[in-house]
């Protein structure tokens, strides 16, 4: 992976990303750029390559080909990453989890970062509670908080609302929308994309088929502008997927 | 790595059941070994019935009497006897579990011994009934009683020989014996020869008795000479075998210290392997591994942290255990620093093996089970006695034992605990190499399996 020259107007630049697992190509020459403050939803059928793309952006997987940069730097270290399953130590308290990752991320003032994040996720009163005793929604908040500890300019979320009930999901999206950070998230819930995403990346069989606003996707298939899901299915059908 | 160590210790502190098991288990092993080594085996409970009527347990050996039933009663010294009043009662005691065995002294035992001694015909037999329920206890009782019977046989044999030698001496030198309550004087061969010699000297030269008496004297000379050898020869038969024990050069590890080392290494193996495998697998089952390796810590650093944690805990626990065992078994405290060194190297080697297992497993339970399943055969292979298997199999077992840390750890720790040659340098080197090998395998396994 090489580092492309970037600029502040283009926080994330991805060019020609390809990833293979044996004979199977999980990502095929994916290219896109993001503007600051964008909320980008990655959608597509199962096996489309959504998690693979996010894992490469997060630095968990290395691409076989292609390059990406975040304001001119390697993405992995600088982006905040929130995996699909909460990556937390259930025997540690909320504050201890935050403190551990703040120290590992070499945050300048770990204790201040922990207290700030506890307030931000509205769990200051449960700071000493073991994470394993929290609800799924609150665990996901802590999970996201860890991704935000280093104050990244890009936050990567892999199906952040997958295990949440509608009320928890609503609270989570209010929280994410209020961050003001560039966010890339994957989801199977097209409604979330329609409501919160400023841009859609549509992946199928490792190929990036579409990038644009939800409205542009609906217009592309000439369907009902109020039904993004129907537009997405129709788009995939038209492209032979 | 420091913060990961702190985190793991916090998790362990909040897992009292796991920590309790890791501490209690080695202490329980130490207690069992300690008591086993410091307490002699108890006497087995044996039902006993003597069918020989009172006053009829003696046999006559020439001028002396021998109490055969009394010798049989010597069996009591090896067992905890239950006296019974019939053969059936003794057997019933075995059947209902009150006794592990029953010993019956048959009524004809004195007669059989008498017949064997005087006529060479007879089969004196003590009857033994054993409980088949527990083969180990049965073997133990069988050995205890058989050993005692051998001692009784030797005692009877010696007594018979003593009587025989005494009688021969009387035939040779003369003396007196009690026959039917009356004292009868024996002339003795030497005295008879002297009398015949005197008679021969007083006879005329041409007396026809001279040739016959000369033959009697020649026979007496020969008999005196032959019987003179009888005493030392018969004495030798009474103690037929003398074992001449020779100690070869070089010291060996005392059995007790070796047993203590085995107990320590078994505990060390379980603590180090289970902890290393479990704590590494925990990173994956908590989904934290991908988050850690994206720049926060390298896979090698993470493995080193787990090995350090497992090695440190295992060293600490087994040091305490060794100190505890030393209450029962003599261990050389002057070599304490070598204890620490040997235990630390062994703990780290087993920790490296543990992370290699933990790197393959996705979940803590699977990793713990794998570590447990792998550890048992490793210990078994290393502890198989060399004389118990044939050449080819022995070579195979030696190779397998060489590839895992148990044997080297046992050598290092037993040598460190008891201060025996050839020292601990080579085993420590062996352990260091195994640590590097298993650490390398763990890194490969992490690369292969961790992203799944």
- Interval B348-396: pLDDT, tens: 999 999 999 999 887 888 888 899 889 888 888 888 776 667 778 888 8
Cβ proximity of B251 and B407 under 8 Å: no
Contacts of A81 in chain B (CB under 8 A): 291, 294
Among chain B residues, CA nearest to A86? B287
| Interchain CB distance below 8 Å, A58 and B294 | yes
Asked if the model's pLDDT at residue A9 lies above 50, the reply is: no
Sign of the CA dihedral running B74, B77, B78, B83: positive
Cβ proximity of B265 and B409 under 8 Å: yes
Residues in chain B: 452
Determine if the pTM surpasses 0.80.
no
Dihedral angle computed from the Cα positions of residues A189, A195, A198 and A203, in that order, rounded to the nearest 10 degrees: 20
Cβ proximity of A146 and A83 under 8 Å: no
Cβ-in-10-Å burial (0-12, 13-18, 19+) of A199 comes to buried
Residues in chain A: 241
Check if B226 contacts A (Cβ < 8 Å). no
| Interchain CB distance below 8 Å, A59 and B297 | no
Shortest distance, CA A225 to any CA of chain B (angstroms): 39
Domains of chain A: which residue ranges? Answer: 12-79+152-238, 89-150
CATH of the domain spanning A12-79+152-238, picked from 1.10.540.10, 3.30.2320.50, 3.40.50.300, 3.40.630.10: 3.40.50.300
Q: Which of A60, A130, A146 sits opposite B290 (nearest CB)?
A: A60
Check if B451 contacts A (Cβ < 8 Å). yes
d(CA B191, CA B197): 10
pLDDT at B251 (0 to 100): 42
Cβ-in-10-Å burial (0-12, 13-18, 19+) of A220 comes to middle
Percent of chain A surpassing pLDDT 70 = 90
pLDDT in tens, B167-218: 788 788 888 766 666 777 778 888 888 888 888 888 888 888 888 888 888 8
| Domains of chain B, first to last | 7-38+254-449 (no CATH), 45-157 (3.40.1710.10), 187-237 (no CATH)
Specify the DSSP element, H or E, that contains A120. Answer: helix A110-120
Asked if the model's pLDDT at residue A150 lies above 70, the reply is: yes
Cβ proximity of A203 and A49 under 8 Å: yes
Check if B14 contacts A (Cβ < 8 Å). yes
Most confident of A62-71, A179-188, B157-166, B302-311: B302-311
Q: B416: Cβ–Cβ under 8 A, 6 or more apart, which residues?
A: B335, B338, B339, B341, B342, B343, B424
d(CA B302, CA B282): 12
Which band of pLDDT confidence, cut at 50, 70 and 90, is reported for residue A7?
Answer: very low
Q: Which residues of chain B have pLDDT under 70?
A: 30, 33-42, 61-64, 68-78, 117-120, 132-140, 148-149, 152, 155-156, 177-181, 228-255, 386-388, 420-422, 449-452
d(CA B359, CA B211): 107
């Amino acid at each position: 992976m090489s580092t492309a020259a970037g600029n502040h107007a283009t926080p994330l630049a991805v060019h020609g990303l390809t990833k293979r697992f044996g004979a199977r190509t999980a990502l095929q020459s994916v290219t896109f750029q993001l503007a600051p403050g964008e909320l980008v939803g990655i959608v597509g059928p199962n096996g489309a390559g959504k998690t693979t793309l996010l894992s490469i952006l997060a630095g968990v997987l290395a691409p076989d080909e292609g390059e990406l940069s975040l304001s001119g730097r390697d993405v992995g270290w600088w982006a905040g990453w929130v995996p699909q399953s909460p990556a937390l130590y259930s025997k540690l308290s909320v504050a201890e989890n935050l403190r551990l990752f703040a120290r590992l991320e070499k945050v300048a003032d770990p204790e201040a970062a922990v207290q700030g994040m506890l307030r931000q996720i509205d769990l200051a009163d449960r700071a000493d509670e073991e994470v394993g005793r929290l609800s799924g929604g609150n665990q996901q908040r802590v999970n996201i908080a860890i991704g935000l500890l280093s104050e990244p300019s890009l936050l990567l979320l892999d199906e952040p609302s997958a295990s949440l009930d509608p009320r928890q999901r609503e609270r989570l999206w209010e929280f994410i929308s209020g961050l003001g950070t560039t966010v890339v998230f994957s989801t199977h819930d097209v409604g979330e994309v329609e409501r919160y995403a400023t841009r859609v990346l549509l992946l199928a069989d490792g190929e990036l088929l579409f990038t644009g606003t939800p409205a542009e996707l609906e217009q592309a298939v000439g369907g009902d502008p109020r039904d993004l899901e129907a537009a997405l299915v129709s788009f995939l059908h038209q492209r032979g997927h | 790595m420091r913060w990961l160590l702190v985190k793991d210790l916090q998790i362990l502190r909040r897992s009292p059941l796991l920590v309790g098991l890791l501490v209690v288990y080695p202490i329980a092993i130490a207690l069992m070994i300690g008591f086993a080594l410091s307490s002699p085996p108890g006497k087995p409970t044996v039902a006993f019935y003597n069918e020989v009527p009172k006053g009829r347990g003696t046999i006559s050996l020439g001028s002396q009497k021998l109490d055969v039933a009394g010798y049989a009663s010597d069996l009591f010294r090896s067992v905890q006897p239950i006296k019974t009043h019939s053969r059936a009662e003794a057997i019933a005691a075995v059947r209902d579990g009150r006794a592990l065995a029953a010993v019956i002294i048959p009524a004809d035992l004195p007669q059989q011994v008498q017949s064997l001694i005087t006529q060479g015909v007879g089969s004196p037999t003590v009857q033994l009934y054993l409980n088949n329920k527990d083969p180990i206890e049965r073997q133990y009782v069988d050995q205890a009683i058989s050993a005692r019977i051998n001692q009784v046989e030797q005692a009877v044999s010696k007594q018979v020989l003593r009587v025989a030698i005494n009688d021969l001496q009387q035939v040779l030198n003369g003396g007196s014996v009690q026959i039917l309550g009356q004292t009868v004087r024996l002339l003795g061969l030497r005295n008879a020869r002297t009398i015949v010699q005197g008679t021969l000297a007083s006879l005329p030269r041409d007396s026809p008795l001279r040739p016959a008496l000369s033959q009697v004297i020649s026979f007496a000379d020969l008999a005196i000479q032959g019987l003179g050898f009888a005493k030392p020869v018969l004495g030798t038969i009474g103690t037929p075998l003398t074992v001449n024990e020779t100690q070869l050069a070089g010291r060996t590890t005392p059995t007790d210290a070796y047993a203590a080392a085995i107990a320590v290494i078994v505990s060390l193996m379980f603590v180090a392997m289970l902890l290393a495998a479990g704590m590494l697998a925990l990173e994956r089952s908590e989904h934290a591994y991908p988050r850690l390796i994206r720049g926060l810590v390298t896979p090698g650093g993470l493995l080193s942290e787990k090995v350090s944690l497992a090695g440190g805990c295992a060293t600490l626990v087994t040091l305490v255990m060794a100190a505890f065992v030393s209450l029962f078994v003599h261990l050389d405290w002057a070599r304490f620093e070598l204890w620490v060194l040997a235990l630390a190297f062994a703990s780290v080697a087993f920790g490296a093996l543990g992370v290699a297992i933990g790197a393959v497993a996705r979940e803590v339970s699977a990793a713990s089970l794998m570590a447990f399943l792998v550890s048992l055969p490793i210990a078994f292979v290393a502890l198989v006695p060399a004389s118990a298997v044939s050449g080819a199999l022995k070579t195979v077992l030696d190779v397998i034992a060489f590839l895992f840390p148990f044997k080297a750890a046992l050598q290092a720790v037993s040598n460190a605990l008891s201060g025996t040659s050839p020292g601990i340098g080579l085993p420590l080197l062996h352990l260091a190499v195994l640590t590097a090998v298993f650490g390398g395998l763990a890194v490969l396994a992490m690369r292969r399996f961790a992203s799944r």
